Structure 1
């Protein structure tokens, strides 16, 4: 499975969709892992071998707060799996190692069923968007209350692993991320959670237009404008005005999105695209174009406002 099989435009309207749309692309995943895995691991990985594997191990009831991607890479003569879990719920989960154990067990059982032994190592990585800082332990053994002799006696019988963690509430992408594309993505995710998107575009104005592909700019605009209903293209252009080249590139992408009904506008087609996106995210039946086209502009605006309020209550507040 490659990025071309993922519905980037509709997916990019959500936290989890933006994550998947960006990091399902191998070049972005490679840059991310190279920056944030331990050096002793990255030195052993044959990065051109990285491949996105199909499927998700997050249960449907948790998919609005968690998303995951599974990658295969070569390390020497053996295949290793990199499991990237994205968490964007309001409060960090102290039982995360237990959840990861379940996901890793599913991965191992699937492999054993299809290929028998030996199993492939699975390296779990959690990307936490916030808003609260991650204070829970990343080690599975710390989920137990073991003291003294009992701890020493029982630890050999317990699963032992830790997950890697990037907590965006503690990480400054502008200073700590080498790859320009990943730096922009992580800074956007961080400031979107902090509701500081205009500050993001002022910061982005320091980028060269050559650093950001049209596809990445497209995803950035879709995600940003859905994350903040008050954000519009003119505000974005104003905050990019110190960089005419990037402003021009962004305007070009925004015009294409507007023509497709993907961003704020006053036409029925624009409202239809926004309504169908919200219905998809809220797991409602998707209204057909025929039904929506029969509504007046005022009715479309009212329906969008109703869906957007439900989105705010369910996913953005608290």
Structure 2
């Protein structure tokens, strides 16, 4: 069973790159041309599962894709790093994941005598804009001089991964890439959204992409994901988005405004539910799990009524009647 996203960065990346048309546009932009030319992009498929441990989900997202390279089955393993600093041991981490991929492959095909090629790709989306400053090749981790490594040749593994360092790519360069609008917006936000108070301004050049997203088959869901991500990790006042929203095409404007209003209402209801749970606990003592679930699932009208009733009720049952 596929692992469920455990943080907003993971959820947003998976939502966008989990569709092959989006993943292909990013991979074609970052992979070396000789790999791009050998790949049959019509065969690109997202594979189920994740190789990142639950403890590291706040730092990494991974998406393994199958694809044919010169007619042979291969895997492109995409790892997205969300932390600000570079992982010095990233080549070792990737090697571990690649071995796990091969092990899982052998378990699935116990009679196989061959293994699929695995092409590792790392997307570094530092929210603080720190450029990648760590090894990109396994051999760079070895405690050995360059002459010694050269003399050993292919006796020691050198495994190099493809790095797409978002901190080294400004918006103008990102706009030159032949990406789908959804991927361009996702990459920009993964790099810039966290903690920003000026997204209404910095996102202005993305108005054409946001409008184009609304016209795609998954446009509504993609725009909802954009708004959800911004409201979860960003700190821009909602009113500061008004000039940007006014420049959008009608469909994009409608989806973004409606989603924003819905999320704000959900946030207010969650806050009211948490407050009522605290008041119930202080008045009646420790609450049962069923009572907490009942309050969290309540409608805004029920929460308002119960908040009034707690002032005079003598039992929890009377309060939640």
TM over 0.5, shorter chain: yes
Structure 1: distance between partners of 2:273 and 2:158: 47
In the aligned structure 2, how far is the partner of 1:174 from the partner of 1:218?
Answer: 25
- TM-score, normalization: structure 2? 0.76
> How many Å apart are 1:90 and its aligned residue?
2.2
Q: CA deviation at 1:49?
A: 0.8
What is the CA distance between 1:60 and its match in structure 2? 1.3
Question: C-alpha displacement at 1:67, in angstroms?
Answer: 1.1
- Counterpart in 2 of 1:223? 229
Verify the 8 A CA contact 2:199 2:236 in the aligned structure 1.
no
Among candidates 238, 245, 263, match of residue 240 of structure 1? 245
- Give the Å deviation of 1:101: 0.4
Which is worse superposed, 91-100 or 200-209? 200-209
Offset of residue 142 of structure 1: 0.5
Counterpart position of 2:254? 251
- 1:136 corresponds to which of 134, 137, 140: 134
TM-score by length of 1: 0.76
Q: Map 1:277-288; keep pairs closer than 5 Å.
A: none
1:42 is aligned to 36
Change (3 A) 1:46 1:148: closer
| Inter-partner Cα distance in structure 1 for 2:273 and 2:235 | 15
The gaps in structure 1 that reach 5 residues or longer are 276-284, 301-318
- Secondary structure (helix, strand or coil) at the match of 1:92 reads coil
- Which consecutive unaligned segments of at least 5 residues does structure 2 have? 276-288, 308-321
CA contact (8 A) 1:258 1:264 kept: yes
**Cα distance in structure 1, aligned partners of 2:273 and 2:42:** 37
Match of 1:26 among 20, 26, 30: 20
Deviation at 1:188? 1.8
Q: Secondary structure at the match of 2:164?
A: strand
Equivalent in 102, 108, 115 of residue 114 of structure 1: 108
Asked if residue 205 in structure 1 is aligned to residue 207 in structure 2, the reply is yes
Aligned-partner SS, 2:50? coil
Given the alignment of the two structures, is residue 15 of structure 1 paired with residue 9 of structure 2, yes or no?
Answer: yes
- Who is 1:187 aligned against? 188
C-alpha deviation, 1:133, in angstroms: 1.1
Q: 1:137 to 1:266 in 2, by over 3 A?
A: closer
**Residues 213-269 of structure 1: CA deviation (Å, up to 9, x unaligned):** 22221111110111124532x43233232x2525x523334315644xxx1137864
| TM-superposition CA deviations, 1:184-230 (whole Å, max 9, x none) | 22122222147242234322224472344222211111101111245
Q: What's the C-alpha RMSD, in Å, of the aligned pairs?
A: 3.3
Maintained 8 Å contact 1:81/1:121: yes
Pairing 1:46-65 to 2, within 5 Å after superposition: 46-65=40-59
The partner residue of 1:75 within 64, 69, 74 is 69
Q: Distance in 1 between matches of 2:185 and 2:169?
A: 13
Indicate how the Cα distance of structure 1 residues 111 and 190 shifts in structure 2: closer, same or farther if over 3 A, else same: same
Residues 270 and 296, structure 2, Cα contact 8 Å, conserved in 1: no
| 1:262-311: CA deviation from partner (whole Å, max 9, x where unpaired) | x1137864658999xxxxxxxxx9996513256957x99xxxxxxxxxxx
In the alignment, which of 165, 168, 187 is matched to residue 166 of structure 2?
Answer: 168
Q: Which residue of 2 aligns with 1:278?
A: none
**Higher alpha-carbon Rg:** 2
Question: Is the partner of 1:205 in helix, strand or coil?
Answer: helix
Instruction: Provide the rounded CA distance (Å) in 2 between the counterparts of 1:85 and 1:286.
Output: 39
